[in-house]
Chain A
Amino acid sequence: MRRASAIEREAEQITTVQDLTSVFESLASTQVAKIKNKVTLSEEFFQLLWKRYSSIRIDPSLRITNRDANGEQAKKVFVIISAEAGLSGDIDQHLIETMQQDLDMNTTDIIVLGSHGANQLAQRNIPYVRFFQVPESDHYIDVSPVIDAILPYSKTIVYYEEYVSLGVQEIKSIDLISSVRSMSEDVDDNVEEDVMTAGNTIFEPSLDEIADQMEVTMMTLALSQTILESSLAQAASRFNAMAVAKKRAGELLNDYMLEFHRAKRSESDGRMREIMVSLKKKRKHAGVNR
């Protein structure tokens, strides 16, 4: 049996781990609340902008999302939105595994956002053409470099993590260009009072330039929202991972304390035995001398 003092030292280390996981759990919980607020604001913003975007009438065949891609540019691109750092459980692993099921390296390039995803790809020997850090700030998400990178491709599939609840996160994928295109094609032409055309509205610089700008803006927002959604899912996953680690540390600590008390009792029993033996010896010795 190990010495009680050695067990006590190890138990102290486990207590530190438990305290640390508790802090990380609280941080993740705060992060979830903060990102949730951002998601709500961003969704409201998207809805308002969508209301205006859907009010302008443009020829769908002239849109960026309907352009013909040719030659090398006809390739597809998978955009993977992962975490910038670890400690978010195994959610990024699931993300890469899901993406791998659809991957054909001959027809598809990969763009990865987040160091954790890039590391996961490197470990699996899956090459990627571009890497971006997850663009995040308290004010806005600048995804313009990513949009510039994906525009030449014929199809853009975004793989991201979706927050369902604090306990459940799922891997999702969307076809970014198709989703924006379908948004512009799903416009209800019967709602004529909201229609803004060159006949009843001043467009500066021009309707076409504004339509192009709006389309890129909608794609930017759609991508930003997937990044935000992923951040929320990662924060929730981190919270769960930390909660599990905290629970495990607590269980380990209980085991250590049990072992410590056993060791302590064993040590005191041992000492007691030694005292009894020496007392017996002394008594025996005294009896002999008497």
Chain B
Amino acid sequence: MRQPDSTSRLNVIARAPFNVYYEGPAEAVTAVNKVGKFDVLPGHADFFSILNPGEIIIETATNPVSFNVTNGIITVRDDEVYLFVNI
């Protein structure tokens, strides 16, 4: 099992079919699924979930990127986060 690494970062790709919301490194991702609001930090376990409508917040080194989604899918694997939204 991988250990959380405080120096590592997430690589985030957040896209809708016709829109690229964010692509690049990030500190954390906040989203909402059936269970509730959750955060993905570097070192997070591999994860696959259906998103509920709500706000996505991507914490970057500079300013946070936030946008609202009506639906979507999030996958996390080896600190690589894919957000497929508004499908």
Binding site for B on A (CB under 8 A): 38, 41-42, 44-46, 48-49, 52, 55-56, 138-141, 196, 200-205, 207, 209-210, 213-214, 217, 220-221, 224
Inter-chain contact B49/A42, CB cutoff 8 Å? no
- Complex Cα spacing A205 to B17, Å: 24
Q: List 15 A-B contacts (CB under 8 A).
A: A41-B18, A41-B19, A45-B17, A46-B17, A55-B77, A138-B18, A139-B16, A139-B18, A139-B19, A140-B17, A140-B18, A140-B86, A201-B77, A204-B35, A214-B73
Could you tell me how many residues of chain B have their Cβ less than 8 Å away from some Cβ of chain A? 23
> Which of A49, A138, A200, A209 is the one whose CB lies under 8 Å from B46?
A200
- Complex Cα spacing A138 to B86, Å: 12
Inter-chain contact B48/A49, CB cutoff 8 Å? no
A246 to chain B, nearest CB (A): 30
- Complex Cα spacing A52 to B46, Å: 12
CB neighbours (8 Å) of A205 from chain B are: 34-35, 49-50
Inter-chain contact B15/A45, CB cutoff 8 Å? yes
CB neighbours (8 Å) of B16 from chain A are: 45, 139-140
Main SS at interface, chain A: helix
Main SS at interface, chain B: strand
Known A38-B18, A42-B18, A48-B13; 10 more pairs at CB < 8 Å: A45-B15, A49-B84, A52-B75, A139-B19, A140-B17, A140-B18, A196-B48, A201-B48, A214-B73, A224-B17
Interface centre among B15, B34, B87 (most CB of A within 10 A): B87
B57 within 8 A of A: no
Binding site for A on B (CB under 8 A): 13, 15-20, 33-35, 45-50, 73, 75, 77, 82, 84, 86-87
Inter-chain contact B73/A213, CB cutoff 8 Å? yes
Nearest CB in chain B to that of A37: its residue = B18
> Which of B13, B15, B19, B47 is the one whose CB lies under 8 Å from A204?
B47
CB neighbours (8 Å) of B20 from chain A are: 41
Nearest CB in chain B to that of A201: its residue = B46
User: Contacts A140-B16, A221-B17 hold; do A196 and B77 have CB atoms under 8 A apart?
Assistant: yes
CB neighbours (8 Å) of A196 from chain B are: 46, 48, 75, 77
- Complex Cα spacing A224 to B77, Å: 27
